[in-house]
A and B are shown apart, each in its own frame.
Chain A
Amino acid sequence: MMNRGILQALQKIYPADRLLTRDVELLPYESDALTAFNAKPGAVVLPVNEEEIIDTVRLCHQLALPFVARGSGTSLSGGSLPIPEGLTIGLNRLNRIKKIDPLQRIAVVEPGVINLHITEAAQPYGLYYAPDPSSQSICTIGGNIAFNSGGAHCLKYGMTSNHVLAMKVVLADGTVTRFGGESVDGVGIGPDLVGLFVGSEGLFGIALEITVRLMPQPELYQTVLAAYDDLGRAGDAVSMVVASGLLPGAMEIMDRLAIKAAEASVSAGYPDAEALLIVELEGEALQVEAEFEQLLGIIEKSSAIEVRVAQNEEERTRIWKGRKGAFSAVGRLSPDYIVQDGVVPRSRLGEALVEIGALKDKYQLDVANVFHAGDGNLHPLILYDGREAGALERAEALAGEILALCISLGGSITGEHGIGMEKRDYLPAMFSEEEIDIMEGLRRAIDPNEIANRGKMFPGGEAPALSQHGVHPLERAGLISRE
């Protein structure tokens, strides 16, 4: 329970139905998609306009009250986990698409707008919003911005950061500032502030208004699914595709356990194999048709045991349904799991997978592998049973070894999920003490009280309870998934 003075100040901004303080009201906010952690916020506020957000942030700054901005709570790194006794600012009600400008191919949206809703609004004009995290039907743009969310189609057109042209934000000390513009060159002149703000994990402040670029819907997609009797061969096929000079929109690999989970969950009709590779080309029909012929030639030479080409949109959707649902599907195989998000150079994927195989044996835990092969972004799912004593600790130790492995291979500890709560202790494995000092210095220059999303990204700080097990209720309902 928050102290009375703070509550009274919040009551000046919010009516009772948008200021939540009772235990039963706070419960849904105690955790996000990283269900291994939970914490009880002091209160949750639900602003309906940007003035309320600005007033709230200014109040928090004045009172040195920690806050976390939250969209739909789909963060896989615990990024939107409440700060114990802090304020959670729920942004779902700021969900207006303020403008779709098809001529200039842009949209101006509020932070609580759901990712997929932008594409739906743009569709009548033949346009779409490109970043496609697996949770796109529920995750919000504000959250995508905080964590620079990716998806299966990042190789060609980039992540969230590459699609944001302009923003109006309130910094953690209450300063309101704008950067960028409606030109596709975005910030264009002066340091790229959009690029700095996107991916700052909610530590800089809150995005109030976001201008994103839209892209024309490709005229044609061509999708091929290839099955292999060895995970390494699927990896080799990826290298062959890259060496050929083709630039696919997506290249995804799933291993046997992930295939099994996907089959059990959505019956995608996948072949029985050690590994599946999905490659998708997109673009102008004539070009895609020619490139697809080339691609099939490569796949043929890659010792695939079975090759299937999506003959129509329905078959394409089915292929993707299995892949996009793979994470939540793993929930059927195991009561609990941790998703890792490390990146390795593409040419070292094979090595990484062999190592993960060995680690799996060492810790006696199952690991399902799903990954964005085109950009070397691994998503090992470490399965464990939280009811079993010491299982979570073992799973976390295994996860830590995978992160160390990614760094030793010259990669990164996170491709698209962010550091959040989950990986904060591994930040020093990737950055020197001086580099972390500089990042912390920057954080304090923006937020002297360190109130914005306190306890995330940087090592140390108070940790919320590590207790829950089982999938998030929203995930169980099939509304969110972990990619």
Chain B
Amino acid sequence: MTMYAPRSVTELQALVLDSERIHVIGNGSKPALHCAVNGAAIVDLSGMSGIIEYQPAEYTATVRAGAPVRELSAALREKGQYLPFDPLLPEAATIGGTVASNLSGSRRFRYGGVRDFILGAQVVDGEGRAFGVGGKVVKNSAGFDLSKFLVGSMGKYAIMTELTFKVFPDVPRFRSLGFHYEELEEALSAIYFINQSAYELDALDLAPPSVHPINRGKKNGNWMLLARLAGFDDTLPRRVERFTAAMTRDTATIRVEELHDSAALWNPLADLTGEFLVKVVIPPKQLPAFDALIAHNRRRYSVGGNIAWAATDDIAQLDTALTSCGLTGLCLSGAVDSALIGVPIDNALAERVKQVLDPLGKLV
């Protein structure tokens, strides 16, 4: 396996032209995405790093794809702003890898995912062409929106070298609450209650009895709905009070506790140990059926029950569970032949893009 570390777009273009097969890697924080690359030249983009332009007054930031997420987040934090799509691996991932794999953390709940905050990109495609897609302003509808297409594209259509995002002002204070439910269905009803209410939560996750640290070790623990409110000193306590009152009155919660708000609490992967770690995109209504099949696994239902994170030592079993529920999973760690498991995706439109950007199939 040959490793390359281009320092410029021109070097990257030359590499693409000289190679038969290319596989891109950032910091390698999601090893399963790099399993099936069979002799392709590995291009490490972490050398193409740094913030190119950050304009707090415009709510926009442009960075090189190899930049660590933590570098961009730190620069934003200094100006009281943040990436609302909440990169999943804020300490380990590069920004390019986060976009390529479309991985958001729990705070995606409030304003949306990567697709909702990407504005444009510079890329090098499989033909070695360097060009731009999208734009650099917060609103733009000129041309086909290939920048959104890059989200989740896994480096298989074009290699991102530069990315522009919309960013938002962050809030200074957070409060986290845990609502306990005896059954999954009750916790799910509480999610539905929140969905139809005007309470604006910063994040909403659901942890099964065995997983969360507070529940861990207890044989018959409860389902815990983790809710986070964000705001300002003067109103947050009253909002927390109001929300708690509504939840205890209108849902089947058996206990409420204030949790210590921390990055660890809101890292959906914090307690997921297992050989394979998998992201599943799931409509909340399918949670009971899916959960019944994977109840022995460590798991957490994030973003209001719309994204499942599951850890397992038996990937075949998880694959079967996904298939029987009609769901698709993306494996992030563990040795796999294909990072995609469960039901395959209808790729008719993506294949057309591939024909144009990488007709020789160089990018894998």
Determine the chain B residues whose CB is within 8 A of the CB of A56 once the complex forms.
Answer: none
Closest to B241 in A: A286
Shortest CB distance B98–A (Å): 14
Contact A438 B284, beta carbon cutoff 8 Å: no
Contact B281 A189, beta carbon cutoff 8 Å: yes
Closest to A344 in B: B137
In the bound complex, how far is the Cα of B192 from the Cα of A127, in angstroms? 12
CB contact under 8 A between A189 and B129, given known A196-B148, A284-B239, A415-B140: no
B316 contacts the other chain (CB 8 A): no
Chain B residues 116 to 155 lying within 8 A of chain A, measured CB to CB, are 116, 125, 129, 131-133, 135-154
Determine the chain B residues whose CB is within 8 A of the CB of A190 once the complex forms.
Answer: 152-154, 328, 340, 345, 347, 350
CB contact under 8 A between A191 and B138, given known A434-B131, A435-B131: no
In the bound complex, how far is the Cα of B192 from the Cα of A410, in angstroms? 43
In the bound complex, how far is the Cα of B135 from the Cα of A415, in angstroms? 10
Closest to B284 in A: A104
Shortest CB distance A201–B (Å): 8
Contact B355 A445, beta carbon cutoff 8 Å: yes
Determine the chain A residues whose CB is within 8 A of the CB of B169 once the complex forms.
Answer: 245-247
CB contact under 8 A between A438 and B356, given known A184-B304, A190-B345, A284-B239: yes
Shortest CB distance A341–B (Å): 8
Determine the chain A residues whose CB is within 8 A of the CB of B147 once the complex forms.
Answer: 195
- Chain B 323-364: CB-based contact to A (< 8 A → 1; otherwise 0): 000001110000000001000011111101101110000000
In the bound complex, how far is the Cα of B41 from the Cα of A300, in angstroms? 61
Determine the chain A residues whose CB is within 8 A of the CB of B300 once the complex forms.
Answer: none
Contact B140 A161, beta carbon cutoff 8 Å: no
Q: Point out which of A101, A105, A190 has the most chain B C-beta atoms below 10 A from its C-beta.
A: A190
- Chain A 193-231: CB-based contact to B (< 8 A → 1; otherwise 0): 111111110011000000000001111000000000000
Contact B235 A189, beta carbon cutoff 8 Å: no
Option from A157, A175, A415, A427 in Cβ contact (under 8 Å) with B141 = A415
Determine the chain A residues whose CB is within 8 A of the CB of B115 once the complex forms.
Answer: 161-162, 186-187, 192, 194-195
A418 contacts the other chain (CB 8 A): yes
Option from B133, B142, B153, B356 in Cβ contact (under 8 Å) with A441 = B356
How many residues of chain A get a CB closer than 8 Å to chain B's CBs? 98
User: Chain A residues in contact with chain B, CB under 8 A?
Assistant: 101-105, 125-127, 147-148, 150, 154-159, 161-162, 169, 171, 175, 177-179, 181-200, 203-204, 216-219, 239, 242-243, 245-247, 283-287, 289-290, 343-347, 372, 375-377, 410-419, 423, 427, 430-432, 434-435, 438-439, 441-443, 445-446, 457
In the bound complex, how far is the Cα of B111 from the Cα of A157, in angstroms? 7
Contact A193 B149, beta carbon cutoff 8 Å: yes
Contact B197 A216, beta carbon cutoff 8 Å: yes
B242 contacts the other chain (CB 8 A): yes
Shortest CB distance A367–B (Å): 20
B291 contacts the other chain (CB 8 A): no
Contact B307 A183, beta carbon cutoff 8 Å: yes
Contact A103 B142, beta carbon cutoff 8 Å: no
Shortest CB distance B349–A (Å): 5
With A192-B102, A199-B144 known, 4 other A-B pairs at CB within 8 A are A192-B151, A200-B144, A246-B169, A412-B137
Contact A376 B284, beta carbon cutoff 8 Å: no
B303 contacts the other chain (CB 8 A): yes
Contact A195 B148, beta carbon cutoff 8 Å: yes
Contact A102 B152, beta carbon cutoff 8 Å: no
CB contact under 8 A between A283 and B200, given known A150-B139, A199-B145: yes
Contact B131 A286, beta carbon cutoff 8 Å: no
Shortest CB distance A317–B (Å): 19
In the bound complex, how far is the Cα of B153 from the Cα of A183, in angstroms? 19
